[in-house]
Structures are given as structure tokens and as C-alpha cells.
Amino acid sequence: MPISNQTAESVALAVERLVTNTPRYNYFPRSVRLTEGASQPFLYDTVAANCLPAGFGEHNDSIGIARAIAGPARDESLPDPVIAPGTVNVFFSALNTAMSSPLQNDHLEVAWVNLATMQSGRAPMIQQRPNDYIVTLSNTMATGRGTVVFVVFGSVLDSTSRALPPCDFAPVVGVVQA
């Protein structure tokens, strides 16, 4: 996937947020219904520069929040609610975007490497949970047990965006105990 000018601008904004100690958003999607287990936040919030209609901040940016649920866990909002040991569900919420659609061509992906086994993989982030007000995409991966490093990267389309560009997010990293 090529890096666009918008992605480069998003990276610069994400780094600026880190350097200036911008507070993290306290957001957890309503579409995640954990009945067992806990979610683990990624290391920082990310940003997609200038991809929203006027009125969403100084640059009309979308903030991206990624979290992971390592098994054993149970999330009643997933088609298969059981997250088994050795599997991790990663989910990503793009704030201020409207709902995604399974027919929509979101290009958000997750790559991972298990530091204990050196296994790795890559998967698309998809609409697994019921639609919430904002785009929340996820995927459940068999990573094996151990410390797993994840990187979520790519773009999300706002279903109401019409002629607006996709929200190209700066990559966001998470370290999860699976």
C-alpha cells in the first residue's frame, strides 16, 4: 500500500500528539460487549489528517483508537463470541466517522508478530460487530500465546463522506499479552 501525502500528514500529527503529551481519548465502543476477559489499549491514539467535513476540529481530523482482547475471553457482539486462548481480537475505532458497511472498501489492516514463537501474520480489519455510530473494524487472529506486537495501518471510508478522501491513519502499535 503506497504512502499518500495525507498519510504523511497523519504521521506528523500523530507524532505531534505524542510529543506534546496530548491526552488520550477515553472511548470504548458500545458495539463491544465483553462478558469475560479484558481489553488492552494500544500504546497511543493515532490520527487521520483532514478527512472529515468541516467542524471536527482544527484540521477536521479523525482520531483512531485501537485495543485488543486476548483469549480466553467472551465478546457477545462477535459472530463467534468465544475468543480462545492463543487468539486475539484487535479492534479499531475511527472517531467522528459514520458507520462502515460490509460492502464498503475499507483498507485497514493489522500485522502482528509473536515475540515468543516468532510467528507472524497479517489480516484485514472488517466489520465483525454490529454497526455502531462510528466505524469500528476488527479481526480475530490465532497468534499463539506470548507477547504479541500488533500494528494497525491503512484507511477507513466514512459512509457519509461523499467526495471526501478516505481517512488515512498513521500506524498505531500495540503490545499484548496473549
Residue 59 buriedness (CB in 10 A; 0-12 / 13-18 / 19+): middle
Give the separation between CA 121 and CA 125, rounded to whole angstroms: 13
pTM for the full model?
0.86
Residues 6+ apart with CB under 8 A from 125: 90, 91, 92, 106, 108, 109, 110, 137, 138, 139, 152, 154
In the block, residue with C-alpha cell 500494528: 151
* pLDDT for position 152: 96
Give the separation between CA 134 and CA 21, rounded to whole angstroms: 25
CB 72 within 8 A of CB 37: yes
| Three-state DSSP state, 107 | strand
What the block records as the C-alpha cell of 14 is 500523530
pLDDT tens, the chain, 178 aa long? 556 677 888 888 888 888 888 888 777 777 788 788 899 999 999 998 887 777 666 667 888 999 999 999 999 988 899 999 999 999 998 887 765 555 556 689 999 999 999 999 999 998 887 766 677 889 999 999 999 999 999 988 766 656 667 788 999 999 999 9
- Give the containing element (helix H, strand E) for 171: strand 167-177
Any idea which fold 5-177 has? Immunoglobulin-like (2.60.40)
Give the separation between CA 73 and CA 35, rounded to whole angstroms: 8
In the block, residue with C-alpha cell 504512502: 3
Question: CA-CA distances (angstroms) from residue 166 to 50, 131, 132, 155, 163?
Answer: 9, 19, 19, 6, 9
